[in-house]
Each structure stands twice: as C-alpha cells, then as structure tokens.
Structure 1
Amino acid sequence: MKRANLRERPGPGLGPFLVVSFVGAWLTMVPLWVGGWRRTSAAQETPPLAALCMMLMMLVPALTAFGLTARRRGAREAVRVLGLLRSTPWRHELRCVAAALTVPLGLTAAGLAVSTLAGWYEPAHLPGPGAVVSLVLSAVVSVPLYFGEELGWQGYMLPRLVQRGRMRGLLLGGAIWGAWHAPMTALGGSYPGHAVLLGIPVAVVTAMLLGTVIAAVRLATGSVWAAVAAHVSLNEFALPLTRHVSGTLVDPLLAGPLSIATWPATALAVAGVWLAYRRRGGGDGWVDGFGGEAGSGAAGSISP
C-alpha cells in the first residue's frame, strides 16, 4: 500500500461532522421518545425497537465521516483515508487488538474492587463456559456497530482534535463522546433508575476518562481497529461480566466499567498517558501520535 506523507494533516470538517452526528443521534431515538419507552431498572430487558434505534445511532458517526470524506475526496479515496482497509501488517494489528481488549477489563476489575470494598457490589461466582461463549459470539456479531462509532471518533474526529494538543484533544474527544450519548442516557440507557440530571453528567465524565484511554490506545498502536477492540471489550465483556459475576442486581452507577467506582483507576490511566507524553517531550502531536514505525501505515490511511 502506498505510504502517504506523515506530515499530511487532515482537512477541515470537524464542525459539520459533530453537527450531523449529534442531530443524527437524537433523530434515531425519536421512536423511543414518541413511544414513551424508558429504561427504569438494570433488570429491564431491551425491547427490539430500542435495540434497533441504538444500533442505528452507533452507525451515525461512521456514515457521517464517510459521507463528508467522500464528498471531498471521492468514495474510493474515503475508503483508504478512513482506515477501512488494513494499513499495517497483520501481526501488528493482532497485537494491538489483543492489548486493547485487556484495557477495559483491567480498569473494570480495579473499579469492582473499589465497589466491593464500599459495599456496592457482591462478587459471587465466575461465569460458566456457556456464558463466555455467548459473550464472544455477541462481540463478533457486534463488531460492525463499534466500528461504526470508532471510524467516526478515531478515524475522523481524533486526527482533527489532536492538532489542538494531544491531551487536550484526547480529553475533549472523550467529553464529546459522552455528550453524544445524551439521547440514550436520558432514556436511562446507561444509568437506569437515576435522574437525567445525574446520569448525563456522570456519563460525560465517564466517557471523557474512558474515551481518553481508548484514544490513547489508538495513538499508541496506530490502529483504528485497536480502538474498536477496546470499545467491544468495554460493552460486550466488561459490562455483562460485571452482571454475571455478581450475586445480586448491579447498579451501573456504583459498579462496573461505567460506574463512579471506576473513575479513580481510569483517572490514573489518564494521568499515566499524560506523563508518558510529557516524558516523550513536546514533539508534534500529529506526527508523534499517528506516525512512527508502528503507525506509519495508519498515518497515511486515516488522514483525510
């Protein structure tokens, strides 16, 4: 594959991307608002209509990113610059994906330890083989949906945000990610049974921390697929495993990867990212984050 200039910077388009992505997210939730559906308990099952709306919402960032890029560069070029084609050797991609899968699980484990000590969580047993197989199958089937988000956030938005400074761009990207979830959070998606005025701020802080870590994984590996793997691990493994291991009903606000109990571990991870960047010095955030030996291929493939 042709190697592009590492110092080629992404073009404009952040504003339109955010407007379309946010408006699209709210529009996909209209059927649920009109139907009066709301998740009021963690034990409540997600009906088919709600699941369909959430899946469509997850595809909005990718469709927006592809549409804006194709409008400027053409459809064939959009496939290349957004990372739809493999841009690094398979071994490198697999190592990145494997490492990314462990990050949310490690943060969740640390958070569950805090929740257990605080009396908010009761671990009871390990998940059986059947449960693990079910989770793996669900994760594999759901990969296109998470790619739908991360192609937009990490393939399109992040390259534009890091021009404002690496840590600033990472933190801002996480906050944007959290705010984008507001239509679903307001319906009790992440924190059922809690007031909207509590759920949305908690969701934004949680997403800012977790989103920063996921974006840092993307920068460190040079792989959009690593960010996809981290997101899959968060939603398809860390969240359900929290419920499977517990002997009682779990409040997502107090236990699990999206809980306030996980904030200290995630904040330490964010601080570690900041210290790592400080130790590397004040080099160019775009070249350092998307170029170099590990990410040179990715730099040419995701920089519209």
Structure 2
Amino acid sequence: MKRTNVADRPGPGLVPFLAISFAGAWVTMIPLWADGLRRTSAAQGTPPLAALCMILMMLVPALTAFGLTARHRGPRGAVRVLGLTRATPWRHEVRSVATALTIPLGLTAVGLTVSTLAGWYAPAHLPGPGTIAPLVLSALVSVPLYFGEELGWQGYLLPRLLPLGRMRGLLAGGAIWGAWHVPMTALGGSYPGHPALLGIPVAVVTAMLLGTVIAAVRLSTGSVWAAVAAHLSLNEFALPLTGHVSGPLVDPLLAGPLSVATWPASALAVVGVWLAHRRRDGRRAAGGKAGAGLPGGAGRTSS
C-alpha cells in the first residue's frame, strides 16, 4: 500500500525554494551578526533578540514551501500536496507520532552511553516530574515552529530529491538541512565555544544523519506530523534532558543528540533505513515477477 503523499515526478520549484530558504535564513540572522552576538559557552542563555531571530528563521521554509505550492495549485492543493492532510487512519497516525517522539531519545541514550564510556559525560541523576513538565509545556508551545521547518523540508523539498534515488535523496536533504543552519551555527548556536570551521562540518554531518532518519519517518507515515514530532523531540527533550541529568556542564560537541558520540547510533539507524527500503523494493520486484507468470497474464498476451 502506498503511504506517501510525495509526487511520482519531481515538481518545479526546487531552486527557488532553496534560494529563498537560504537567503531567508541569513536575513533573519542579520540582527545577531550586526549585534556581534556569539554563543561562547553552553551555560550562556538565549537573549530575546536571538530567540526572535530563530523563530523567524524556522518559519521561513514553511512560508516558502506553501507560497510556491499555492501559486501553482492553490491553497487547498498546497495543503494536500505538502502532506498536511492525514494520509493514514488516525490510530496509525497517533502510533507514528508516538514512535517518532521516542527515536531521538533512543539515539541520544546510545550516544550518551558512548560519551560516558569515553569520559566526556557524567550522568548524575534522573529527571523528575518538575523537570519533565516544563519541557512538555515548551514542546506544545513550540509545535508551530517545528512544523514550519518540516513543512518545508519534508513536505516540499523531500519529494523533489527522491528522483536522485531514495537514500541519496534522504542524505542530500539532511545535508541541505545542516547547511541551512550555517548562519546560526557560525554564531556558536549548536557548538558554543568551538570555532566555526569545526562546528559547521560537524553540524552538517549530524544533520545529514538525523535528517535522514526524520525523512524516513515522513515516508513511512505519509504525513509531515510524525516528522514534526521527531524534530520536536530532538530539540525540546533530547537536548535539554542531556544537561538536566548531568552534573558538570555538557559540551554539545561531545555529548548529546548533536554530538559526535551519537554519530555511530545515527549511522546505524541510517543503515537500518537503507536495509528496510532495500527489502521492500526486493519484495515489490518479486511480486512483479510472480504476477508476470500468472496464467491470466499469459492469456492476455496470447490474445
């Protein structure tokens, strides 16, 4: 059964989407560059100006995707094409969202184990209800922001990359996602205290791996909402919980969902995605060969 809402053929608008999305990312970060703001420590908070700029940046892909799609198909057509409508029964949708929420947490847990064994991380205690409740509230409030990103990446960009081949398209989408974050990463957004020449390539590789997993969630459910849940879980739960359960200050480069310690787990997840798609393609090919040998097919040929 086909579960995706992606088009069979790549649609127009890839170059305009990338151009507007990347330009919009830089434009929204101009106030921070002009102000000279740079995150130099993981203990440094997020100033109101930085929070506003990041909010605007996260909305750019969605507005771009919806505008380009609605221009050719109208608002209703854009809603359908971008995967906003439910593609599967609601029970399956709920299960998919619940599963998507656990994936970044699982990858982070494996990565933190690697960091602990390497001496980069020191877990001190488990988070209690007083820690979880504010995170849940923040996640609920932030849903529109993550929806803003994933509507662009998974609803618009992904279908236009799949003609490259499924895995190539997924990996390319993740790399583009990481490159789009450069205006923020260069200011120490993901890896404070580290030079941009180190932080940017690490961020791109991390995004390529995690973005592939999120895109696979999108393809398996046929809806953008599960991808939104995975992205939200990454930023609103996996990242802050890494700090909450640790004693000393955590270096995001060495511990947490965006760290190099999580690369092995994320890479294994990507391999799992590749094997799953390869197995599915093999079954489809076998089914096609079996169908070709049915008596009904031979009868039609002889006629």
TM-score (norm 1): 0.89
TM-aligned CA distance change 1:123 to 1:7, over 3 Å: closer
Aligned to 1:278: 278
Q: 1:61 is aligned with what amino acid?
A: P
Q: State the shift of 1:283 in Å.
A: 8.6
For 1:42 and 1:105, locate their aligned partners in 2 and report how far apart those are by CA, in whole Å: 20
Task: After TM superposition, list the pairs within 5 Å mapping 1:163-182 onto structure 2.
Answer: 163-182=163-182
Residue aligned with 2:184, SS? helix
Aligned to 1:196: 196
Q: State the shift of 1:215 in Å.
A: 0.6
Residue aligned with 1:74, SS? helix
Aligned to 1:231: 231
Q: State the shift of 1:11 in Å.
A: 1.7
Aligned to 1:267: 267
Q: State the shift of 1:280 in Å.
A: 2.1
Residue aligned with 1:134, SS? helix
RMSD after superposition: 1.8
For 1:6 and 1:252, locate their aligned partners in 2 and report how far apart those are by CA, in whole Å: 35
TM-aligned CA distance change 1:134 to 1:6, over 3 Å: closer
Q: State the shift of 1:82 in Å.
A: 1.6
Task: Tell me if 1:29 matches 2:29.
Answer: yes
Q: State the shift of 1:7 in Å.
A: 6.5
What is the total number of aligned residue pairs between the two structures? 282
For 2:49 and 2:133, locate their aligned partners in 1 and report how far apart those are by CA, in whole Å: 26
For 1:261 and 1:6, locate their aligned partners in 2 and report how far apart those are by CA, in whole Å: 33
Unaligned runs of 5+ in 1: 285-304
Q: State the shift of 1:277 in Å.
A: 1.7
Q: State the shift of 1:80 in Å.
A: 2.4
Spell out, residue by residue over 1:194-231, the C-alpha distance to the aligned partner (whole angstroms, 9 max, x if none). 00000000000000000001111111122211100000
Q: 1:44 is aligned with what amino acid?
A: Q
TM-aligned CA distance change 1:7 to 1:206, over 3 Å: closer
For 1:210 and 1:102, locate their aligned partners in 2 and report how far apart those are by CA, in whole Å: 13
On the 8 A contact 2:206/2:259 being kept in 1, the answer is yes
For 1:283 and 1:16, locate their aligned partners in 2 and report how far apart those are by CA, in whole Å: 37
- More relative contact order, 1 or 2 (CA 8 Å, 6+ apart): 1
TM-aligned CA distance change 1:283 to 1:5, over 3 Å: farther
After superposing the two structures, state which structure 1 stretch, 76-85 or 174-183, moved more: 76-85
TM-aligned CA distance change 1:41 to 1:11, over 3 Å: same
Aligned to 1:38: 38
For 2:6 and 2:189, locate their aligned partners in 1 and report how far apart those are by CA, in whole Å: 40
For 2:227 and 2:161, locate their aligned partners in 1 and report how far apart those are by CA, in whole Å: 16
For 2:140 and 2:5, locate their aligned partners in 1 and report how far apart those are by CA, in whole Å: 34
For 2:194 and 2:4, locate their aligned partners in 1 and report how far apart those are by CA, in whole Å: 49
For 1:118 and 1:59, locate their aligned partners in 2 and report how far apart those are by CA, in whole Å: 38
For 1:161 and 1:73, locate their aligned partners in 2 and report how far apart those are by CA, in whole Å: 20
TM-aligned CA distance change 1:208 to 1:4, over 3 Å: closer
TM-aligned CA distance change 1:48 to 1:104, over 3 Å: same
For 2:48 and 2:6, locate their aligned partners in 1 and report how far apart those are by CA, in whole Å: 45
| Bigger Rg, which one | 2
Q: State the shift of 1:66 in Å.
A: 0.5
Aligned to 1:212: 212
Unaligned runs of 5+ in 2: 285-303
For 1:128 and 1:64, locate their aligned partners in 2 and report how far apart those are by CA, in whole Å: 40
On the 8 A contact 1:96/1:223 being kept in 2, the answer is no
TM-aligned CA distance change 1:282 to 1:7, over 3 Å: farther
For 2:254 and 2:219, locate their aligned partners in 1 and report how far apart those are by CA, in whole Å: 30
Q: 1:88 is aligned with what amino acid?
A: T
Runs of 4+ in 1 over 4 A off after TM superposition: 3-8
For 1:140 and 1:46, locate their aligned partners in 2 and report how far apart those are by CA, in whole Å: 19
For 2:276 and 2:223, locate their aligned partners in 1 and report how far apart those are by CA, in whole Å: 19
Aligned to 1:86: 86
On the 8 A contact 1:162/1:169 being kept in 2, the answer is yes
Spell out, residue by residue over 1:147-206, the C-alpha distance to the aligned partner (whole angstroms, 9 max, x if none). 000000000000111111100000000000000000000010000000000000000000
Residue aligned with 1:84, SS? coil
Aligned to 1:98: 98
Task: Tell me if 1:117 matches 2:122.
Answer: no
Q: 2:261 is aligned with what amino acid?
A: A
Q: State the shift of 1:274 in Å.
A: 1.1
Aligned to 2:58: 58
